[in-house]
Structure 1
Amino acid sequence: MHGKRIEVTSADGQPFGAYLSAPASGTGPGLVICQEIFGVNAFIRDVADRYAAHGFTVLAPDLFWRLEPGVELGYDDGDRARAFDLMGRFDTDLGVQDITACVQALRAMPGSNGKVGVVGFCLGGRLAYLAAARSGPDCAVGYYGVSIDKYLGESSRITEPLMLHFAREDHLVPPETVDRIAETFAGRSHVSIHVYPGVDHAFARTGGANYHEGSAATANARTLELLQRTLAASR
């Protein structure tokens, strides 16, 4: 399954690019995939195509477009340096606004059932969490989202299902940070937090140095079950 590039209109009326991957049926719930710091690269497009094969209409927006449109990076030292520079200059609030625009665009597409979820990785995991608080999706999933703890003041705004995956050996999201997040959501049945022992940041990135097939398969199965359960019915 292969997608195509389309344009989405931002809240301030500017067009930005997004990778669209649609199911063979042409109909179904929507899903926004939020990139890592490496842009909409082969891994993110593969994730989008995988969910399209499960019946979702998927948008993976170019969230760095205000800094450098069309960023697509690999994982060598030079690209990593560029990626961290872009993340340092990235405006989180504007990024969430762009995700909101994608949620709205998916709901307006022909064949949509009105339901939209958000899934993100690393930087995108933080954005998925914030989208759950601000963008009005029907569910959200974050993989090893960084700096979520800085936004726990918005946790009360999250009323739809939220799933967060964390790696126990992740120095970017250490155990004490995960514990703070878990304590914040204690007793809230619509929020589930999963911690994977013995794995590091980016354990679900296929082909990556930290990829762990077993943990990735478990996390992906949990994510798919939530998406199918939450988004299947018409809004």
Structure 2
Amino acid sequence: MKILVSVKRVVDYNVKVRVKSDGTGVDIANVKMSMNPFDEIAVEEAVRLKEKGVATEIIAVSCGDAKCQETLRTAMAIGADRGILVETAEELQPLAVAKLLKALVDKEQPSLVILGKQAIDDDNNQTGQMLAALADLPQATFASKVEVAGDKVSVTREVDGGLETLSLSLPAVITSDLRLNEPRYVTLPNIMKAKKKQLDTVKPEDLGVDVKPRLKTLKVAEPPKRGAGIKVPDVATLVDKLKNEAKVI
């Protein structure tokens, strides 16, 4: 069984992002970049399925500029067998990424596609769902547990009321949630081995996909600073302010 996993290069989650002075976007100059945490969970789950003997090959895919090779090497250090970089300088939006992944799914014919549920830079939470629609594949989002048996995959997912378990026929698309697993620590020997693994580079036009942006960002701004709190002398005053000033009760 072949598994395809998508990984995205994003600003590291420990970095406090800054908005550009002209309001056109986030300043990523001289900022630490890393793999999207949800994608790291997706790679880890694919590797665990391979270690169980369920999967035979794991392909990591990233879309973006040449620097995304670093992210693919990290995925291969975790345990992916090879990588594919769809290299482009265009600003990639979820629909464009979904179309690129759909083209690679058609080419590679994986039995399972695992994506992070969302990227921490734009928080769109759209690519997995769009890919499933374009490829006409069953999908399970926000997965907290994945079990493969034969040509079926059982996915436990988190919903507002608790947990929901779905049974999908393979091939299928799954998006990973935080509670799916805890990604392993990448060791130096595996980082060195990853440098020797196969990494192919293709262009969007090679896949017959138009990646021109459909949406235009008008302005990016930081959220307003939170005002200072106040102290009240007693509960009665607190209730009065919540009722008459804040109007929340």
Q: Same fold (TM over 0.5)?
A: no
Q: Return the TM-score normalized by structure 2.
A: 0.34
Q: Greater helix percent: which structure?
A: 1
Q: Return the TM-score normalized by structure 1.
A: 0.36
RCO comparison, higher one (Cα < 8 Å, 6+): 2
